[in-house]
Structure 1
Amino acid sequence: MKFKHRLAYYLFGALLGGFFVIYFLGAKADSKGVEFCYLPNCRVLKELRSKSLEYSPEAKATLEQNWVNLDDIKKTMQYGDVDFSKSNTAYKSGKVYVIAGKNSDNEAITVTMINYSNKVILDKIEKR
């Protein structure tokens, strides 16, 4: 059998197998609320979302200014980008994470969070 025929069979089988995997694993993820987080950004955000969220006095004051709200923070924790050059630094008994996101007015914001073993503290919110 010629190489191009073997390559065509291989690619067809790989494509068919890929569709089956996506179909079955996608159905499993949709039915049980499972998400696949293998990249560092996704893993950090998932860990931060899994713990209870508390607010520092500075963050409470910023939230009262009404240019950012709690929904913006939750969306940043879901879809934001972790700045690893400024993050993962030790702070007391936790680690600091800096996350870039956007508020409801589509303005760029930076959220600083401190991740402890049992909770996450929203430390400060800044416009970029």
Structure 2
Amino acid sequence: MAFLKRLGFYLIGLSIGLVFLFFFLKKKSDETGVSFCYLPNCRVLKELRSKPITYSEEIEQLVADQTLDSLSIAYFMNEGDVNFKKSDTKNTTCNTYSIEGIVKEKLMALTVKNCDSTTLIDKIEILD
């Protein structure tokens, strides 16, 4: 059998297998709510969202003044980018992460402490 014919059969089988995997894995994730987080950014954000969230006094004041809303915080926790260079992951009690994102057309950084039982949203700063 010629090489091009074998390559064609291989590519046809591979594409059929990928289509089946795509539909089965999509169905599984839709039914069970399972998400596949393999990258460090995704894993950290998922870990932070899995615990009860508490706010520092500074953040509570900003929410009370309506300078910052809960949708902005939810955006950071779902779509933000963790800046590992500014984060302190060597701490024994609570790891501190800096999550950056664009909210209301401004680049902001949210500082979050990941403790054993809770997630503490500590402070927010504008980077622009």
> Matches of 1:88 and 1:15 in 2, distance apart?
43
Query: Quick one: structure 1 residues 118 and 74, their matched pair in 2 at CA, closer, same or farther if it must change by over 3 Å?
Result: same
Structure 2 partner of 1:7: 7
Structure 1: give runs of 5+ residues left out of the alignment. Answer: none
* Partner of residue 96, structure 1: 96
- In 2, the alpha carbon distance for the partners of 1:62 and 1:89 equals 27
2:26 match: 26
Does the aligned pair in 2 maintain the 1:72–1:102 contact within 8 Å?
Answer: no
Gaps of 5+ in 2: none
1:16-72 CA deviation, whole Å, 9 max, x = no partner? 111111101110100111111111110000000000000111222233343321111
Task: Indicate the SS of the match to 2:86.
Answer: coil
Q: Which residue identity lines up with residue 14 of structure 1 in the other structure?
A: L
Aligned position for 2:115: 116
Q: TM-score, normalised by structure 1?
A: 0.91
Specify the SS of the correspondent of 2:87: coil
Return the alpha-carbon distance in structure 1 between the equivalents of residues 16 and 56 of structure 2.
51
Per the alignment, residue 48 of structure 2 pairs with 48
Kept in 2, the 8 Å contact 1:62–1:125? The answer is no
Aligned equivalents of 1:79, 1:97: Cα separation in 2: 14
Report which stretch shifted further, 116-125 or 58-67.
Answer: 58-67
The ranges of structure 1 where at least 4 consecutive aligned residues each deviate by more than 2 angstroms after the TM superposition are 61-68, 88-92
Identity of aligned residues (%): 41
Instruction: State how many pairs are aligned.
Output: 127
**Which has the larger displacement, 92-101 or 35-44?**
92-101
